[in-house]
C-alpha cells in the first residue's frame, strides 16, 4: 500500500513540476526561432529535477521503510522508470504544443494572406477611376443649349452611372445583371457622344445573369476599346457581349486601331486581370486577331466563390 501511495505522490509531483517548467520555458522563449534553445533548457531542467527528486525521495523512502534488500538496484530501476515517465510526458505535451502552434501559425498566415490580398484589392479598386467624366462634360456642354431635353436625360444617365460606381465601390463582385444595367446607362452616354458611330449589343441567356464578375469590368473594356480604336461614320465601333461554350463572358470589339499610337499605361486591362487573380485565381484571357479584340471574363457562381474562400 505504501508503494502505491508513494508512486501516486511521485506521479503528481513529477507531472506538476514538469508542467510548470514547460510553462516557464514557453514564456521565457516564446518565439519559434527560439524553439531549439527552449527545448534544450527545458529538457535539461526537467531531467535534472526528475533525477534529483527521484534519488532524494527514493533515498528517504528506503531509509524510512528499511524494507528493501537491494537498495542500489531498486534506485536504478526507480530512476529509469521516472525518466521514462517524464520523457513520455514531455513527448505528449510537446506534440500537442507543436500541433497547436502549427495550427495557430497556419491561421495567422492565412489571416495575413487575406489581409494582404484585401489591401491589394482595395488598391486596385481605387484605380478604377472613370476616365469618361471629362468627355461626358464636354458632350453635355455641347448639347445643353441646342437640345436641353436631351441634356437632362444625359445628366440623369450620367448620375446613374456614378451612383452605381459609388454603390459598388466596396464590393468584390457584382452580378452580371447589375453590371449590364449600368452599361445600359453608359451606352446612352456613348451614344450621345458618338451617335451611330458606336454600337453595343449583348446576347446573354437569362440563367447567366445571376453569375458574378469583377465590378466595372465591362465599363473598363469599353473605355479601352474607345481609346485605342477609330470611331467614325465609315468605321463605326461595335462592341458585342456573348457567352462562350465554357460559360464565360466574351467581350469583343472590331479592331480598327488608330494610326497614331495612343499613350497607355495598360492599367485598365491589368486592373481587371489582377482583381480576378486575387478574387478567384481564374485567368482573364486577352487576344486579338485580324478582325477583333477579344477578352474572356470568367463568370463566377457566388456559392462556389464563397466556398473557396472559407
> Is the confidence at residue 298, as pLDDT, over 90?
yes
Instruction: Provide the 10 A C-beta neighbour count for residue 117.
Output: 14
User: Can you tell me the distance from the alpha carbon of 13 to that of 50, in angstroms, rounded to the nearest whole number?
Assistant: 10
SS3 of the chain: helix, strand, coil, percent, to 5: 65, 10, 20
Tell me the average pLDDT across 62-90: 61
Burial of 42 (0-12, 13-18, 19+ CB in 10 A): buried
Q: Which residues pair with 300 in a beta bridge?
A: 212
Residue 310 or 202, more confident: 202
User: Can you tell me the distance from the alpha carbon of 154 to that of 59, in angstroms, rounded to the nearest whole number?
Assistant: 100
Tell me the average pLDDT across 162-169: 77
43 is written with which cell numbers? 529538457
Q: What is the pLDDT of residue 239?
A: 95
Shortest CA distance to 162 belongs to which of 139, 186, 134, 194? 186
Q: pLDDT tier at 150 (50, 70, 90 boundaries)?
A: confident
Q: What is the pLDDT of residue 272?
A: 85
- Where does the chain hold its CATH 3.30.565.10 domain(s)? 128-308
Q: What is the pLDDT of residue 224?
A: 87
Residue 132 or 247, more confident: 247
Q: What is the pLDDT of residue 70?
A: 55
State pTM to two decimals.
0.58
The H or E element that residue 249 is part of is: strand 249-254
Characterise 119 by phi-psi region: left (phi > 0), alpha (psi -120 to 50), beta (else). alpha
* Coil vs helix vs strand at 174: strand
Q: pLDDT tier at 131 (50, 70, 90 boundaries)?
A: low
> Is the confidence at residue 288, as pLDDT, over 80?
yes
Q: Are strands 237-243 and 198-203 parallel, antiparallel or unpaired?
A: parallel
The H or E element that residue 286 is part of is: strand 285-288
The H or E element that residue 239 is part of is: strand 237-243
The H or E element that residue 201 is part of is: strand 198-203
Q: pLDDT tier at 116 (50, 70, 90 boundaries)?
A: low
Instruction: Provide the 10 A C-beta neighbour count for residue 25.
Output: 20
Q: What is the pLDDT of residue 122?
A: 56
30 is written with which cell numbers? 516564446
What would be the CATH architecture of the domain defined by 128-308?
A: 2-Layer Sandwich (3.30)
Residue 91 or 77, more confident: 91
> Is the confidence at residue 72, as pLDDT, over 60?
no
Q: pLDDT tier at 213 (50, 70, 90 boundaries)?
A: very high
Within a 13 Å sphere around the CA of 207, how many CA atoms are in the beta-carbon half?
3
The 8-class DSSP code of residue 175 comes to: E
214-269: pLDDT as tens digits: 888 898 899 889 888 999 999 999 999 999 999 999 999 999 988 776 555 456 78
User: Can you tell me the distance from the alpha carbon of 238 to that of 226, in angstroms, rounded to the nearest whole number?
Assistant: 10
Amino acid at each position: 500500500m505504501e508503494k502505491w501511495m508513494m508512486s501516486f505522490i511521485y506521479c503528481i509531483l513529477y507531472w506538476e513540476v514538469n508542467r510548470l517548467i514547460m510553462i516557464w520555458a514557453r514564456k521565457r522563449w516564446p518565439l519559434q526561432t527560439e524553439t531549439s534553445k527552449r527545448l534544450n533548457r527545458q529538457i535539461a531542467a526537467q531531467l535534472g529535477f526528475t533525477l534529483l527528486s527521484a534519488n532524494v525521495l527514493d533515498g528517504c523512502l528506503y531509509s524510512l521503510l528499511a524494507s528493501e534488500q537491494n537498495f542500489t538496484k531498486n534506485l536504478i530501476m526507480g530512476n529509469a522508470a521516472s525518466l521514462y515517465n517524464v520523457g513520455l510526458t514531455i513527448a505528449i505535451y510537446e506534440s500537442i504544443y507543436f500541433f497547436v502552434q502549427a495550427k495557430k501559425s497556419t491561421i495567422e498566415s492565412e489571416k495575413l494572406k487575406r489581409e494582404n490580398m484585401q489591401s491589394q484589392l482595395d488598391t486596385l479598386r481605387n484605380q478604377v477611376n472613370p476616365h469618361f467624366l471629362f468627355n461626358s462634360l464636354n458632350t453635355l456642354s455641347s448639347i445643353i443649349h441646342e437640345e436641353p431635353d436631351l441634356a437632362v436625360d444625359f445628366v440623369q444617365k450620367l448620375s446613374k452611372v456614378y451612383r452605381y460606381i459609388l454603390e459598388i465601390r466596396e464590393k468584390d463582385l457584382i452580378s452580371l445583371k447589375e453590371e449590364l444595367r449600368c452599361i445600359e446607362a453608359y451606352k446612352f452616354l456613348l451614344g450621345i457622344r458618338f451617335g451611330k458611330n458606336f454600337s453595343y449589343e449583348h446576347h446573354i441567356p437569362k440563367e447567366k445573369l445571376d453569375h458574378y464578375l469583377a465590378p466595372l469590368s465591362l465599363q473598363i473594356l469599353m473605355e479601352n476599346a474607345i481609346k485605342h480604336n477609330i470611331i467614325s461614320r465609315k468605321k463605326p465601333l461595335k462592341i458585342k457581349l456573348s457567352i462562350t461554350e465554357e460559360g464565360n463572358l466574351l467581350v469583343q470589339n472590331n479592331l480598327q486601331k488608330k494610326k497614331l499610337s495612343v499613350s497607355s499605361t495598360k492599367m485598365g486591362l491589368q486592373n481587371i486581370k489582377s482583381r480576378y487573380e486575387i478574387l478567384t485565381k481564374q485567368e482573364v484571357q486577352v487576344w486579338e486577331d485580324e478582325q477583333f479584340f477579344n477578352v474572356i471574363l470568367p463568370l463566377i457562381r457566388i456559392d462556389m466563390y464563397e466556398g473557396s474562400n472559407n
